Amino acid sequence: MRNIVPSDSARACTSAIVKLLWNAEDDPEKAFRAEIEFLTKEEMGNELQCLYSDIAREEREKDAEYGVDEELVQRIKEAMSKVTCVWPFIRTPNDLKATTVKTLLKHPNAANLGEKCLPIECSNLKEFAFQIRPFIVNKVSSTKSPGQWPLVRMINIYLKADILEPGIVIMDVPGNMDENAARTAQSEKNLKNLSVACVLSRSDRAPSDAGAQELMNKATQQMLILDGVKRVCYIMTKTDQLDSIDNYIQEHPDVEEQLAQILERQQQAEDYKSILKEQLEKISNMKVEARKEYLRLYKDFQDTEKRALEIQLPPTLPQKRKLGVADWVEGNEVLPDLGDFANIALLVCELPSLSAEEKKLVGDLLAAQTKYKRQKDHENKIKANEAQARLSLHAVDNCLQETQCLKTRACIQHRNETSSAEIKSNFLQAMQETGSGQTKLSLEVFSVSALMSLNMVQKEPTEGYLIPSDTQIPALKKFLVETTLQARHENATAILDYIDKFILQIKAWAIKPSLNLKISSSLREQLEKKFAEQVAEHKEVCPYS
């Protein structure tokens, strides 16, 4: 299910807290579902008021000796980008000062504020991704298409993905560094409830990614708290991206030594490929010469034809259509068949009334046919040699493709193992520096390629990845299932206990016939409302119930 949650290799793309949950709906029209929860007007108003205060502070500090705080400038820039996204007509702080918080909150573009659950349901993946995009993607908006992501608190996306079916909930928390207090509070709350915190970083920068290291330290601190995260794992993404395989091999002698036999095989294949290309070039030249020779023979035959056809044939002989130059076009792969004229010549030779000159003409025609057949056989042999050479070249290309795949696989695995070891070393060092080195903490590192895993399912090219385990997606799935098993069991047990208690209470109430125990319609309405609130609260604690 590619592109449901957007990604970008250059910048942060997902802007809201996103939860991926199992979709229990069997209705095809609800194959893809989402529930979008927005900030309240009060929360958004507080954020806007903070921006007004920051702009006023910046203006006051412009004339100060120490200048404007760079952190303040950056904060204003980020906040203005959000404001412009929702209200595209506000491009500068001066535009903002020309209006008020109250006016902005009443604007139609902010109509979703306070909405607890905006549902989106689709049967088509592409259409679903398009509909949720304005609420999830951090992008530049326009007057015609204002963005909504700055107003979103959280998005629940329900999918029929195998990893989610056991009850696992995957949560993306891009708001961990968000200036919005509501989203940050939501992130902190969810972080405490995680069974395992997964820190993601691109494989090309994973060991030195300061942001990822900060997130991992934060998750580790939560793990040391009794009610915090239970496990932490580090996920290196996009492992299929490696700039230059040959340069990597040159820079790592141990990899070159490991690939010695494969590199030798590759060199042999490349040498043989050069030989085959030379052969094909010679064959191509031979084909040109053979065609020229054929044209010469054809002209000779044509000259003989003009004389031979002047012989008057008896009425009993089959009449043959004259074959001229228009019956053959230069460049045609199919050579013309001259058998018609040979058949005529053989019949003519049997006529006793032929003169010596006429018989010579017939002999010339037969000679032309013989030369033609020999030339045709010669060209067929050239074509057969060419076909064989091309088959050999195809086999060599397959061999080179296989060796390149093995080289890529070895380099990727070496890079992954090296980066994984460095990440684990940094983790242990950080634990020792914080005085937690004696604790039994372990860090699982996974080097995954979601793209190659998806390509394997869709039977698309997967250079460097021969089997599913190479992508480490199966190992990551197994880890998530095992580490969340206890929490899922506890949640399931809590739900069942809650239902049992509820049924017992209902039974106790139902079996008593006293009218005094019956409730009025107004009280029933209050109880139903309270019950709905309790169910909503329970779902928040146990989202996959």
**Segments making up each domain of the chain, as ranges:** 260-406, 488-541
Q: Which residues contact 285 (CB under 8 A, 6 or more apart)?
A: none
- Whether 306 shows a pLDDT value over 50: the answer reads yes
Alpha-carbon separation of residue 433 from 79, 264, 430, 436 (angstroms): 36, 48, 5, 7
CB 408 within 8 A of CB 241: no
- Whether 8 shows a pLDDT value over 60: the answer reads no
Q: Can you say whether the dihedral through the CA atoms of 21, 22, 25, 28 is positive or negative?
A: positive
Percent of the chain with pLDDT over 90: 24
- Whether 354 shows a pLDDT value over 80: the answer reads no
pLDDT for res 476: 92
Complete DSSP assignment for 92-136: SHHHHHTS-HHHHHHSGGGTTTT-S-EEEEES-HHHHHHHHHHHH
Q: Which residues contact 305 (CB under 8 A, 6 or more apart)?
A: 322, 323, 341, 365
In Å, how far from its chain's centre is CA 91? 34
DSSP 333: S
CB 51 within 8 A of CB 79: yes
- Name which residue leads in pLDDT, 238 or 71: 238
Residue 464: left (phi > 0), alpha (psi -120 to 50), or beta? left
- Whether 440 shows a pLDDT value over 70: the answer reads no
Residue 475's pLDDT band, with cuts at 50, 70 and 90, is very high
Tokens of residue 66, six digits? 């120490």
Mean of pLDDT values over 268-272: 94
Mean of pLDDT values over 358-378: 76
Residue 77's pLDDT band, with cuts at 50, 70 and 90, is confident
Mean pLDDT of the chain: 78
- Whether 307 shows a pLDDT value over 80: the answer reads no
Which residue stretches of 350-459 are H helix? 356-433, 450-457
pLDDT for res 358: 66
- Name which residue leads in pLDDT, 217 or 28: 28
- Name which residue leads in pLDDT, 276 or 349: 276
Closest CA to 168 of 57, 19, 363: 19
pLDDT for res 175: 45
- Name which residue leads in pLDDT, 353 or 126: 126
Tokens of residue 125, six digits? 């993946």
- Whether 328 shows a pLDDT value over 70: the answer reads no
pLDDT for res 10: 45
Q: Which residues contact 428 (CB under 8 A, 6 or more apart)?
A: 437
- Name which residue leads in pLDDT, 321 or 493: 493
The C-alpha angle with vertex 407 and arms to 401 and 411, in degrees rounded to 5, equals: 145
What's the rounded Cα separation, in Å, for the pair 86 and 106? Answer: 12
CB 274 within 8 A of CB 241: no
pLDDT digits (tens, 9 = 90+) for 167-226: 888 888 764 445 555 556 656 666 667 788 888 888 887 777 776 777 677 666 666 554
What's the rounded Cα separation, in Å, for the pair 278 and 389? Answer: 10
Mean of pLDDT values over 291-310: 76
Mean of pLDDT values over 435-458: 80
pLDDT for res 141: 57
pLDDT for res 166: 86
- Whether 412 shows a pLDDT value over 90: the answer reads yes
Mean of pLDDT values over 30-42: 91
Mean of pLDDT values over 400-419: 92
- Whether 236 shows a pLDDT value over 70: the answer reads yes
Question: pTM for this one?
Answer: 0.69
pLDDT for res 183: 55
pLDDT for res 392: 93
- Whether 393 shows a pLDDT value over 80: the answer reads yes
Percent of the chain with pLDDT over 70: 73
pLDDT for res 330: 39
Q: What's at 215, amino acid-wise?
A: L
CB 445 within 8 A of CB 418: no
What's the rounded Cα separation, in Å, for the pair 545 and 492? Answer: 7
pLDDT for res 543: 52
DSSP 502: H
pLDDT for res 64: 67
- Whether 245 shows a pLDDT value over 80: the answer reads yes
Residue 156's pLDDT band, with cuts at 50, 70 and 90, is very high
Mean of pLDDT values over 376-405: 91
Closest CA to 177 of 394, 15, 356, 410: 15
Helix (H, G, I), strand (E, B) or coil at 63: coil
Helix (H, G, I), strand (E, B) or coil at 197: strand
pLDDT for res 57: 87
Contacts 24+ apart (CB under 8 A), 429-435: 430/213, 430/216, 430/217, 430/220, 431/220
- Name which residue leads in pLDDT, 9 or 185: 185
**CA-based radius of gyration for the chain:** 40
- Name which residue leads in pLDDT, 338 or 99: 99
The distance between the two most distant Cα atoms of the chain, rounded to a whole number of Å, is: 138
Mean of pLDDT values over 144-172: 86
Residue 316: left (phi > 0), alpha (psi -120 to 50), or beta? alpha
pLDDT for res 368: 76
- Whether 472 shows a pLDDT value over 70: the answer reads yes
Run of H or E residues at 295: helix 260-308
CB 409 within 8 A of CB 465: yes
